[in-house]
């Protein structure tokens, strides 16, 4: 869909839009509390269904026999932080999940025996972050894991017996960013950063790494080229590869002859995903996500199944789990303006059976459609973007808003990530409060080819920020909002963009909400997690090199901390005390700079969170503060803070008086 036009000739008859007061308020808990169920899967042998669901208010892993889905039992015992990632062992005998402590991202691997229910820590080490380094179709009781318990910068490769817990060292890591194994769990490739800002790929034979790389990339291809795995017989190595082209193609390389052939490519966007044969590993379908995600089948039988799902499901869908014999799939369905549903698809019988609805409390809620748009930046770069309008400004037949309303510019993190089309809880929350919500894939975002990424190199706070300003101008020109009724909000890089927006363009935004955003790019680079250090060359090349006079000057210029005195609009900041990516000091220092200059700022600190909020109570509490902050300075509506703080660990470090109801909420919490 192209950008809505604002020409009078294109407008249809006026659309009747309800007054916001007549639109039911969606409770925060319905959007950000625990889902009823999530992350549904089916075991490889097809015997078990599994999912995440609350136990005593905390997400845990549950299972039930496929033959009797009602016979459910909880398999894990998390009592503090929710389990957010889990998967089945290849032999279907155990469930595996990862968990950190307080958001420190030192994830350990845990296993639960399905038959006995016994749970154990499979990587029992301190200050260690586990990586899954390899799995096999034919060796089902073992996997390869990477462990950085010897050296925090590098992950050594170990063979883990999933049923005994035994660990055997396979390869010691002497400076590599990663490894690639085949179906026999043999290491076939070692990957190492190079001086060109890209990667060198070395062949590995019987544990010995070749002296010279067989493949290399430079900076331009570093985020759009990588090996994607071997077929089961090891005869084909797949690549996602942008070398010699702009967008990344899917390439099949014959491992004996070295011959390569293009499986799929698209000029609009990178190849984003693939479905592979469960037993042979051969690619059966691929996806491209430009404005929306589109699947194309290479295998006729897979094509028939995808067509069946398109014909029988409303909105978008994705296959999130498959049995080894590929007769049954777990399919996630996003109807977009209804709560997400998950289905069990029997490919043999040709039937869809409901598995669960993730948030049944949203049934009948006034959810708003998302529009996919193309916004042209000042230099002609096209920015794929997503707009959600509130019910009080419902779009007409051409997608134009029927009245201007306040708008929140919601900036994604990364920045080497992207926004995408589909149900978005934050979009729905803000639209329900009366705001238009615009998310922009600014230059530097991934998925749209290497030139799109490279256009953001050394442009933090400059051309990347100009893209956001151009998106605001686009929204004003089209009558979405007014020039003085726009807030900026985001997490991680989006938090940086918020600080940059208020510091570098202080008159553009009415207010800002920064979540775990860096304020000083120099100190950010000095405190990255140790396991990111091997990739530091790419950070320097894309952000600025603090080891050079020119690079250090650039980083200081683009750091909002050094322009904190220019901030004149209200600012709300949230930070996790255990954040390993953006340390607490990043928020502390800009808050201190603003307080020294008597500039109002509200600062919320979470002692048990990291880079974002894992606990629903903490997320709900911050959103309670944020929506009342936005209502006060932008003019939308808000659900009262009420007792949201009672169930959260939020510490209001400073500025409670700048958010309506926050002082009373603090007093109420102290009394309980």
User: What are the pLDDT digits (tens) for 254-288?
Assistant: 999 999 999 999 999 999 999 999 999 999 999 99
Catalytic residue numbers read: 492, 579, 611
Indicate if 268 and 411 belong to the same structural domain.
no
| Cα 36 from Cα 303, distance rounded (Å) | 32
The pLDDT value given to residue 16: 52
Q: Answer yes or no: do 459 and 577 share one domain.
A: yes
Number of domains in the chain: 3
Q: Which domain holds residue 261?
A: 224-296
In a domain, residue 15? The reply is: yes
pLDDT of the residue at 17: 62
pLDDT at 452: 98
The reply to whether 429 and 472 lie within a common domain is: yes
Residues 504, 411 share a domain: yes
Residues 435, 369 share a domain: yes
Give the model's pLDDT for residue 329: 98
pLDDT score of 350: 97
Helix H or strand E segment including 586: helix 584-596
Q: Write b or e for each residue in 460-494: b if 16 or more Cβ atoms lie within 10 A of its Cβ, otherwise e.
A: bbebbbbbbbbbbebbbebbbbeeebbbbbbbbbb
Statement to judge: residues 274 and 303 lie in one domain:
no
Are 309 and 291 found together in one domain? no
pLDDT the model gives residue 181: 98
- Residues 315 and 334 both lie in one domain: yes
- The DSSP call for residue 2 is P
In a domain, 287, yes or no: yes
Are 383 and 471 a contacting pair, CB within 8 Å? yes
- Same domain for 350 and 269: no
Judge if 292 and 369 occupy the same domain.
Answer: no
Q: Count CA atoms closer than 13 A to 537's CA, side-chain side.
A: 15
The pLDDT, as a whole number, for residue 113 is: 97
CA distance 376 to 467: 9
Instruction: Note the pLDDT of residue 396.
Output: 77
pTM: 0.95
Q: Which residues of the chain, if any, have pLDDT below 70? A: 1-18
451 inside domain: yes
């Amino acid at each position: 869909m192209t950008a809505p036009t604002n020409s009078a000739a294109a407008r249809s008859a006026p659309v009747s839009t309800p007054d916001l007061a007549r639109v039911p308020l969606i409770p925060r808990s319905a959007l950000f509390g625990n889902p009823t169920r999530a992350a549904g899967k089916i075991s490889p042998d097809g015997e078990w269904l599994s999912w995440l669901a609350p136990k005593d208010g905390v997400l845990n892993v549950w299972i039930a026999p496929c033959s009797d889905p009602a016979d459910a039992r909880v398999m894990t015992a998390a009592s503090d932080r929710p389990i957010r990632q889990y998967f089945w062992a290849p032999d279907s005998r155990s469930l595996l999940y990862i968990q950190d402590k307080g958001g420190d991202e030192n994830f350990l691997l845990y296993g639960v025996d399905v038959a006995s229910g016994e749970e154990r820590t499979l990587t029992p080490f301190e200050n260690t972050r586990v990586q899954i380094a390899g799995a096999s179709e034919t060796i089902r009781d073992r996997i390869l894991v990477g462990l950085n318990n010897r050296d925090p910068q590098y992950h050594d490769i170990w063979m883990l017996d999933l049923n005994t817990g035994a660990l055997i060292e396979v390869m010691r890591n002497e400076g590599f960013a990663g490894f690639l194994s085949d179906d026999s769990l043999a290491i076939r490739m070692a990957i190492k950063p190079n001086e060109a800002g890209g990667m060198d790929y070395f062949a590995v034979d019987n544990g010995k790494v070749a002296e010279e790389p067989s493949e290399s990339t430079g900076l331009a291809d570093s985020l759009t080229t990588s090996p994607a795995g071997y077929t089961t017989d090891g005869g084909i190595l797949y690549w996602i590869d942008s070398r010699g082209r702009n967008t990344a193609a899917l390439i099949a390389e014959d491992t004996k002859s070295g011959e390569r052939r293009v499986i799929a490519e698209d000029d609009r966007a990178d190849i984003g995903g693939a479905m592979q044969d469960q037993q042979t590993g051969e690619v059966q379908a691929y996806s491209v996500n430009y404005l929306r995600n589109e699947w194309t089948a290479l295998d006729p039988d897979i094509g028939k199944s995808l067509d069946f799902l398109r014909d029988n499901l409303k909105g978008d869908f994705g296959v999130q789990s498959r049995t080894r014999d590929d007769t049954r799939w777990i399919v996630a369905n996003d109807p977009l303006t209804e709560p997400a549903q998950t289905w069990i698809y029997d490919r043999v019988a040709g039937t869809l059976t409901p598995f669960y609805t993730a948030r049944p409390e949203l049934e009948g809620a006034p959810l708003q459609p998302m529009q996919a748009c193309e916004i042209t930046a000042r230099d002609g770069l096209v920015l794929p973007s997503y707009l959600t309008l509130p019910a009080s400004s419902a779009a007409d037949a051409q997608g134009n808003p029927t009245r201007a309303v306040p708008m929140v510019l919601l900036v994604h993190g990364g920045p080497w990530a992207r926004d995408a089309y589909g149900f978005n809880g934050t979009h729905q929350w803000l639209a329900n409060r009366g705001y238009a919500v615009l998310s922009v894939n600014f230059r530097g975002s991934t998925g749209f080819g290497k030139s799109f990424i490279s256009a953001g190199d050394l442009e933090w706070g400059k051309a990347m920020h100009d893209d956001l300003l151009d998106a605001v101008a686009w929204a004003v020109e089209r009558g979405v909002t007014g020039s003085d009724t726009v807030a900026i909000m985001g997490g991680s890089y989006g938090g940086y963009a918020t600080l940059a927006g208020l510091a570098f363009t202080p008159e553009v935004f009415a207010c800002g909400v920064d979540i775990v955003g860096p304020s000083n790019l120099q100190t950010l680079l000095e405190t990255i997690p140790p396991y990111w250090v091997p990739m530091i060359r790419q950070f320097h090349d894309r952000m600025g090199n603090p080891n050079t006079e020119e690079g250090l000057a650039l980083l200081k210029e683009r750091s909002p901390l050094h322009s904190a005195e220019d901030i004149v609009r209200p600012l709300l900041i949230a930070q996790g005390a255990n954040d390993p990516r953006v340390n607490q000091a990043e928020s502390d220092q800009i808050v201190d700079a603003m307080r020294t200059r008597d500039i109002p700022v509200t600062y919320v600190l979470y002692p048990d969170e990291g880079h974002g909020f894992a606990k629903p109570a903490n997320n709900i509490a911050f959103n309670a503060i944020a929506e009342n902050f936005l209502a006060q300075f932008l003019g939308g509506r808000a659900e009262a803070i009420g007792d949201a703080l009672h169930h959260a660990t939020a510490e209001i470090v400073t500025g409670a008086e700048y958010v309506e109801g926050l002082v009373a909420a603090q007093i109420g919490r102290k009394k309980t």
